Amino acid sequence: MRRYLQISPVAAVVIACAIIVGIPMFITPIHGYSDNGDFQMLLASNDLFQLPHTKIGYTIQKYGLMRHYNQLHLEHLTTQSVVIQIAVALNRWFYSRSIFDLRFLGAIHYLLYLGGVATFANGLIGRKKRRRNYLLAIVLTLILADSAFTLYLNSFYPQALTLILMLYLAGLFLSLMCYKQENVWQTFSFFAVAFLLLMVHESNSLLCIGLIIAGIGVLSRPHHHLIHGMMLCFTALLLLVGWISANNLSPEASQMNKYQAMTQGKLLTTSHPESISQTTNIDPQFTLMRAQSYYPNGYAALKAEDAETKRQFTQRYDLPWLISAYATDLPQMGRLLDVTAKNTMLLRPKFAGTQAAKPGSKPQFKTKYFTLFSQMLATFYPRKYAFNCLLAAAIAIVYGFAFVRHLKRGERWLASRFWLVIGLLAIVIASPPAVVVLYGTADLSIHIFPVAFSLCLVGMVLLSDVVQHRLWRNTNERQT
């Protein structure tokens, strides 16, 4: 009887995460990341607005719901907007037509998150009730339930869906590798999740390379026919969706990204910013905008949105020029990459609080609830881009040897894990340079978040493979 009552490792992870994450999300005062200035356009395009006398620096539980025509309604459709619209519809049906409660969005994120945890844990650990699997279950709980990750679920930041969909993507890949026969629904789900992940935010288009590599692993399984044609179609579709995602933003947002790519990128770490005028015909006075945001909090020497600034500054350079400029000044690119590396494991958004207002509380208060893993990363993880490259190279070599070994033994289901790891490592290496060129060092918490979570996923997969003896020793596991 005791044997039947014993809970499985996967169920243990899901239940633990449900309790740990659910308590701060839904019990008053609720916890989640507050607005640091990024919510305004997203709220407006989803028929929401901040109520009068809203306290800045706190998690806002209630927003106003527009009841009249909104010309900005779903101006740019994304995966995040679809989820928000579902939450708004549920709120109108069950709560109010004039007030939106953030917990409706949090509840949707919460349920999707638990599904992602279950999918990933099932693919990584399996269903066998071994002691080492329970050890892995504890590690997964410490990482996936860390509030630095999960507080995004109770907010309007795109990191919430990026986290959820990356869990589903890795979990579906690992589960697919455990089947001897074709599993059409899981294969279709993997590709659907990949497309949805790209459409969460325009910066997620930078994940294309990693997703293509992981897709090769799914399509290279022995049972797939016409493999080359399928790979070509998948790659073309992924690149198309990536291109749509990258351009799925307003002219104002595009102008902001271009402006900050220069002021918080190329101009930021150069010792002679005035030299840029020699190759772009930019007036040297515009170097005063160095390190300036598009929407500065205080006094700015020049306004970014002025027509004269656009004519004399942002229209004098473009993306090819930025790429060429960094290519001829690799030391500066290295310094900016180190800036991104320093922010990679700082998982919380800057200038954002984590709880709703209550008597005696201070704005931008950051909770310490269940933050052991994120605090260890922020304290001990090396803050150099070169370290990430060396770490990625070491892990790639380990999995490369394991890949060849498993192919020789005919264990293609184990060899295929190589493609997931390499795809995630490609995100770790390729995303930071692209972020520097396209966005500079602005909003790094959004643009670099997939890098941090990819490293966490790789770490969990590596730990599982070591504990399960999948890399060097023989394993008695079998496919289902």
- Alpha-carbon distance of 72 to 166, in angstroms, equals 29
pLDDT of 4: 42
Give the residue carrying structure tokens 């190329």: 266
Give helix 227-246 / helix 184-198 axis angle, nearest 10°: 30
* Count of Cβ atoms closer than 10 Å to residue 289 Cβ: 24
98 in any annotated domain: yes
- Mean pLDDT per segment of 10 residues, for the chain of length 480 residues? 67 96 91 85 88 84 86 82 95 92 95 96 87 92 95 93 96 83 79 94 93 87 58 85 89 86 81 68 75 71 75 82 87 91 86 79 82 91 93 94 84 80 96 92 88 96 90 58
Q: What is the pLDDT of residues 229-256, one digit of tens each?
A: 677 788 889 899 999 998 888 888 888 8
**Dist. CA 115–CA 109, nearest whole Å:** 10
Answer yes or no: is 37 within a domain.
yes
User: Can you give the pLDDT at residue 120?
Assistant: 96
What is the distance between the alpha carbons of residues 258 and 318, in angstroms, rounded to a whole number?
8
Transcribe 67-131 into DSSP letters.
-S--TTTTSS--HHHHHHHHHHHHHHHHT-SSEEEHHHHHHHHHHHHHHHHHHHHHHHT-S---H
Structural domain includes residue 447: no
CA 411, distance to chain mean position in Å, is: 32
Q: Does residue 415 fall inside a structural domain?
A: no
| Structural domain contains residue 464 | no
CB 277 within 8 A of CB 284: yes
pLDDT for 299 equals 62
In a domain, 333, yes or no: no
Provide the pLDDT for residue 221.
67
Strand partners, 99: 64
Q: Please give the tally of structural domains in the chain.
A: 1
Task: Tell me which DSSP letter residue 266 carries.
Answer: I
Give the separation between CA 160 and CA 267, rounded to whole angstroms.
32
- Whether residue 133 is contained in a domain is answered as yes
Cα(161)–Cα(145) distance, integer angstroms:
15
Whose CA is closest to 74, among 84, 63, 60, 89?
A: 84
Q: What is the DSSP letter of 446?
A: H
User: Could you tell me if residue 469 is inside a domain?
Assistant: no
- Domain of 54 in residue numbering reads as 2-248+364-380
